[in-house]
Structure 1
Amino acid sequence: MAGGDGLTVGAASSLVGVTVRTLHHWDSIGLVCPSDRTFGGYRVYSAGDIARIHRVLVYRELGLPLESIGELLDAPATEPLLRQREQLVERISRLQKMVTAVDRLIEAKNAGLLLSAEEQVKIFGTNWQPSWVAEARERWGDTDQWAQYAERSATRTADDWSRISEQVSALNDDLATAKRAGVVAGSPEGNALAERHRESMAAYFECSHSMHVCLGRKYAADPGFTTHYDTLEPGLAAWLRDLINANAQAHGTNPETATWS
């Protein structure tokens, strides 16, 4: 500028919030070049240059590469802008889907089950108590297993839960039938049933053999779990615990020292 009222690179850097190094880089690639000079011959940024920097910052915030930004700024027609707008709309759509997924994960982590009370009873049976989910969250909401459960729950529909419920019912029927038939702990059939039960827990969280033993203890000692299994077949809870212990032993886990890990 003849009047010398442009901005030096340091002043421009402070004004727009980018480093001097960044401005030097943009100058070297021709993205934003200082177009005026002081009376002393030093190159400075004019008001138009500063406006161009702000436009670069807007496009960069949207995730565009510098090469594309330069093409947009220098494009004589609107076609490049329209193409870029389409890409931005697509990106916004993807981000919105990500936001929705995160919202569902937050909701699942807080609620435990993204089903209404009516849907829960319809899917899991009239003996199901929707309050059990809140109680489970109160007891285990800070555990890694609850986090895994929430991640799985966030992506599931009512139909998904219906399929899981049907699989659990089929497994319980097979367990009751096997006990009545005299299947004993440690037998090939008993180990297969225990392993099938352990693998079924993956619908909720990854369950090691050691963790499975801990669950078996709870089935036989916790009145709520014991009643659930013994209603299906008298003595089923303790029998299932024994099956789980024998299967864990066969897989190298000592049931006497097993911990939740």
Structure 2
Amino acid sequence: MTSMVDSEIDGDATVGVAAEVLGLTVRTLHHWDEIGLASPSRRTPAGYRLYTWDDLERLGRVVAYREAGLTLDAIRDVLDDATTEIGSTLREQRARLAERIHDLQQLDERLERMTDAHERGILMSDDEQREAFGEDWDPQQSRAARFVWGGSKQWAQFAEHSASRSQSQWRALSEAMSTLQRDLADAVRRSVKPGSQEADDLAERHRELFSNFFPLTRQMQVCLARMFEADPGFASYYNGIGDGLSTWFRQSIDESARHHGIDPDTATWE
């Protein structure tokens, strides 16, 4: 800084020259003058500001401390208060910077998880998924789902939940779903009537559990149950849990919807 000023300025400097040499704007120098942080000591007969060598030296120190991240008030204390311990001030600035770096690293990690969740669905390795969901689980399912649902609001909501969900939370959710499926199979075996209180309770448990993936309205649940019955893959899965479960479950969800004033024949994905 000193050698640069020596080589480029001979005598007092106007605001424009000082700004160019220091890499600042004229507006910045005017502001620092207005707040009394770094003011020119002289003026031309016409009233224009002139910075002396000492003025430029102070400006250089302001620039140096500003680049180190100090606030203008802190810089003023460093330059004007003889009792200020500069080393202590800089150490405090480093401590604040370390906190900011830590916060930014955490933010970066959250953004990375959110990005991965939108692209992969479940943020666990194949082995971790099998451990959480059982050995029969196919880790390709969540990846395949992205190609089907990736452009939907529900996939975005699923990813948002997934990004903050731990392996233990996934395991607990999987266990709750398995328990529900066993209860559904038991209800089918006992010929529980769709529309009964027990069937309604099971339908509501399913809706609440499924809402851990994305908010599931009753109308959406009706559409989902129809897919469970009509799609050969889903029908085979549910009928494997309990004979005739895909149809019984669809009927039970239809009746539950009717009890809440929804006509299942006109239900839409909303």
User: Which residue number in structure 1 is paired with residue 33 of structure 2?
Assistant: 27
Paired residues of 2:15 and 2:26 also in contact (CA < 8 A):
no
User: Which residue number in structure 1 is paired with residue 118 of structure 2?
Assistant: 109
So what's the TM-score if we normalise by structure 1? 0.85
Map 1:168-187 onto structure 2 (within 5 A).
168-187=177-196
Cα pair distance change 1:6/1:135, threshold 3 Å = same
Instruction: Say whether residues 1:258 and 2:264 are aligned partners.
Output: no
Larger Rg: 2
Structure 1 gap segments, 5+ residues each: none
Compute the displacement of 1:258 (Å). Answer: 1.5
Structure 2 CA distance for aligned equivalents of residues 10 and 206 of structure 1: 62
* 1:200 aligned to which of 209, 214, 222: 209
Give per-residue Cα distances to partners, 1:138-172, cap 9 Å, x unaligned: 01111111111111111222222111111110111
Cα pair distance change 1:172/1:28, threshold 3 Å = same
- Of the structure 1 ranges 36-45 and 231-240, higher mean CA displacement relative to structure 2 is found in 36-45
Map 1:1-261 onto structure 2 (within 5 A).
6-8=13-15, 12=19, 16=23, 20=27, 23-38=29-44, 40-45=46-51, 47-48=56-57, 50-52=59-61, 54-55=63-64, 58=67, 66-72=72-78, 74=80, 76-77=84-85, 78-261=87-270
Structure 2 CA distance for aligned equivalents of residues 253 and 72 of structure 1: 71
Paired residues of 2:188 and 2:243 also in contact (CA < 8 A):
no
Paired residues of 1:220 and 1:226 also in contact (CA < 8 A):
yes
Superposition RMSD in Å: 2.8
Compute the displacement of 1:119 (Å). Answer: 1.7
- Of the structure 1 ranges 207-216 and 251-260, higher mean CA displacement relative to structure 2 is found in 251-260
- Of the structure 1 ranges 213-222 and 182-191, higher mean CA displacement relative to structure 2 is found in 182-191
Structure 2 CA distance for aligned equivalents of residues 113 and 164 of structure 1: 13
Structure 2 gap segments, 5+ residues each: 1-8
- Of the structure 1 ranges 228-237 and 248-257, higher mean CA displacement relative to structure 2 is found in 248-257
For 1:203, what is the secondary structure of its paired residue? coil
Compute the displacement of 1:136 (Å). Answer: 0.1
Cα pair distance change 1:42/1:145, threshold 3 Å = same
Compute the displacement of 1:93 (Å). Answer: 0.6
Paired residues of 2:19 and 2:26 also in contact (CA < 8 A):
no
For 2:265, what is the secondary structure of its paired residue? coil
